Amino acid sequence: MKIAIIGTGNLGLSIAKGILNTNGATSMYLTRKNIESIKQYEKYGNVNVTSDNREAVGKSDILIFAVQPGHFKKILEEVKDLLNDKHVIISTITGFSIERIEEIIGANHYIIRSMPNTAISVGKSMTCICSNELGKKRTELAKAIFNRMGHTMEIPEDQMQAATVICASGIAFWMRLIRATTQGAIQLGFDAKDAQELAMYTCSGAANLLIQSDSHPEKEIDRVTTPKGCTIEGLNEMEHQGLSSSLIRGIVASYDKINQIKKS
């Protein structure tokens, strides 16, 4: 696969690293305006670093765009005459619809929209993808690329906003839960570093229990709640204080806000 990352900033570089670490490309072009900070990636023999987007597009088949939303239209216009039927266009740009991309480059291209989260930098992103009609023929390819950096799910485009709340904002929600658990552990006598270690590995373990055993949260809860025991005592107190309800309300508030931002 000949892959170009157009806009190798925070996200673009994480994607590049994920591809390089898993030998996922035969050649790679990394572009940004100021290339000094990514020049060192040329030490990988198959990587070219340039500020010339047209060169990168011309020499690659899979184009992953990771620029700021305000720059995307201009860059698409800059390269659109080079696009042909071998190119797969993968956008990571938040809030930029497939319809808008088609308005700029036309609908007769494989167009994929992806929504990774910041865990992509450690190879654990939950990435949602959708595509235009033609792009459906390339979604397996896009999934294969992002599966190198975590887990991927194909969804309809009209669920991208909701997925942004659950998966991108979701990183912040889970961080707050881990922090709260850490604070609880400190109150029980652990020092701050140990408390965070206990909280984050327990969180990771809980998620992996579900992922690897294909289990359900309530089933796992039943396994650790002895009748009249301490776990159910704590859990019920959390629910009396509104744990599930506040999480659900927070998610819905985020979703309302993202929809307002879209309209304004």
Q: How far is the CB of 77 from ligand NAP (least distance, A)?
A: 11
Q: What is the CA radius of gyration of the chain?
A: 21
Residue nearest ligand NAP by beta-carbon distance? 9
| Residue 60 in the binding site for ligand NAP (CB under 6 A) | no
Distance (Å, whole) CA 259 – CA 245? 21
164 versus 196: smaller Cβ distance to ligand NAP: 164
Residue 243 sits in the site that holds ligand NAP (CB under 6 A): no
Tell me if 73 contacts ligand NAP by CB under 6 A: no
| Site membership for ligand NAP, residue 12 (CB under 6 A) | yes
12 vs 135, beta carbon nearer ligand NAP: 12
CA atoms of 171 and 71, how far apart (whole Å): 26
48 contacts ligand NAP (rule: CB under 6 A): no
**Residue 150 binds to ligand NAP (criterion: CB under 6 A):** no
Residues within window 163-222 making contact with ligand NAP, judged by CB under 6 A:
168
Measured in degrees and rounded to the nearest 5, phi and psi for residue 253 equal: -65, -40
Q: How far is the CB of 217 from ligand NAP (least distance, A)?
A: 26
- In angstroms, the first-to-last Cα distance of the chain is 39
Tell me which residue of 49, 104, 92, 44 sits closest to 68, measured CA to CA. Answer: 92
262 near ligand NAP, judged by CB under 6 A: no
| Burial of 97 (C-beta count, 10 Å sphere; 0-12/13-18/19+) | middle
155 burial type by CB count under 10 A (0-12 exposed, 13-18 middle, 19+ buried): middle
The Cβ of residue 158 has, within 10 Å, a number of other Cβ atoms equal to: 9
* The one among 22, 40, 69, 216 contacting ligand NAP by CB under 6 A: 69
- 6 lies in the site for ligand NAP, by CB under 6 A: yes
Name which of 155 and 209 has its Cβ closer to ligand NAP. 155
What would the two tokens of residue 103 be? 């308005």
Binding residue (CB under 6 A) for ligand NAP from 2, 17, 59, 71: 71
Interacting residues of 152 by C-beta distance below 8 A, sequence separation 6+: 127, 128, 129, 142, 143, 146
Q: Pick the closer one to ligand NAP by CB: 98 or 195.
A: 98
Q: Does 112 bind ligand NAP (CB under 6 A)?
A: no
Residues that bind ligand NAP (CB under 6 A): 6-12, 31-34, 53, 66-69, 71, 75, 92-94, 115-118, 168
